Amino acid sequence: MSDVALAGLVIAVPGVLLLAVTAVRKPTREALAVCLLPLSFPVGQLAVPGLPLQVVQFAAVGAVGSVWLCRLAARAGPSRPARRAPSAPFASAPVPPVLLAAGGAVLSALLSTVVAVDPAAALRLDAGYLLGLALAGTVAQSCSDARSVRIVVVAVCGAGAAVCAAGVATAPQPRAYLGGSVVDNRATGMFGQPNELGSFAAAVLVLGLALLLSLPGRHPLRLLGATAAAAGGAALTASLSRGAWIGAGLGLLVLLGLVDAGARRRLLGGLVAVAAVLVLAGVVLPRQPLLAVAGDRVASLAGGQRNPYEARSAIWREALWQWQAHPLLGVGPGGYQVLAAPGGGPLATVRPEHAHSLALTVAAEQGLVGLGAVAVAVAAGGVSVVRALRWHARQGGGGAGERELLAGAASALATVLGQGVVDYPLRNPVLVTLAWLLVGLLAAAVSTGAAAAAEPVVGALPLTAARAPSAGLADRFRRSRP
Helical residues (DSSP H) of 397-428, grouped into ranges? 402-419
Stronger pLDDT, 67 or 330, i.e. the higher one = 330
Q: So what's the pLDDT on residue 72?
A: 76
3-state helix/strand/coil string of 23-73: CCCHHHHHHHHHCHHHHCHHHCCCECCCCCCEHHHHHHHHHHHHHHHHHHH
- Of 427, 412, 424, give the one whose Cα is nearest residue 248: 412
**Which residues make beta-bridge pairs with 355?**
none
Count CB neighbours of 138 within 10 A: 25
**pTM, entire model:** 0.84
- Of 124, 172, 158, give the one whose Cα is nearest residue 332: 124
Residue 306 phi, psi (nearest 5) = -75, 135
Q: How far does the chain reach from its first CA to its final CA, in angstroms?
A: 85
**What are 183-225's pLDDT values in tens digits?**
777 889 999 899 999 999 999 999 999 999 999 878 889 999 9
Alpha-carbon span 401 to 407, nearest angstrom: 10
**What are 220-249's pLDDT values in tens digits?**
899 999 999 999 999 999 998 889 999 999
Count CB neighbours of 46 within 10 A: 18
pLDDT band for 455, please (50, 70, 90 cuts).
very low
Half-sphere exposure of 352 (CA within 13 A, CB side): 25
pLDDT band for 95, please (50, 70, 90 cuts).
confident
Contact 172, 185 (CB under 8 A): yes
